[in-house]
Structure 1
């Protein structure tokens, strides 16, 4: 318990400018991580879409069955 008190009492208070710098760095790190995650997801989805389009282009279009026409 005394080790915790000593550790916290020896830390110095940050100035407002230092607090802002720490917050700014943390925010920029979060934004960069989100951007890279978003870009990876976009690339993955784009590749899946291209694969799906290639499969659909190879398959012949399904023929529709002629429905029976009933007179009302």
Structure 2
């Protein structure tokens, strides 16, 4: 008997404890996976939006300023 006896290995967990722990761990894994995917997608979309806004801003600055629109001409009173 080389194994050291501790509280963790002396008694086996009951069947209901181990099933609930397995279910809890599986649910936490699923939620963590969904959260990390959502955060990655949000970061990717934010980066794309900021790049598009920057490109639009540069394009607007690159356009030459056109002539201002002329006002309506009034007929001269006679």
Q: TM-score, normalised by structure 2?
A: 0.63
Paired residue for 2:33, among 25, 29, 34? 29
Larger Rg: 2
Q: 2:42, 2:34 → 1: CA distance?
A: 12
Richer in helix (by share): 1
C-alpha RMSD of the superposition: 1.7
Count matched residues: 57
Q: Point out where structure 2 has 5 or more consecutive residues left out of the alignment.
A: 1-17
1:24-68 per-position Cα deviation (integer Å, ceiling 9, x unaligned): 000000010011011011111111111111111111234331221
Unpaired segments of 5 or more residues in structure 1? 1-13
Q: How does 1:19-58 map to 2 (within 5 A)?
A: 19-58=23-62
Please, what TM-score do these two structures have when normalized by structure 1? 0.67
Question: Alignment partner for residue 22 of structure 2, among 9, 18, 24?
Answer: 18
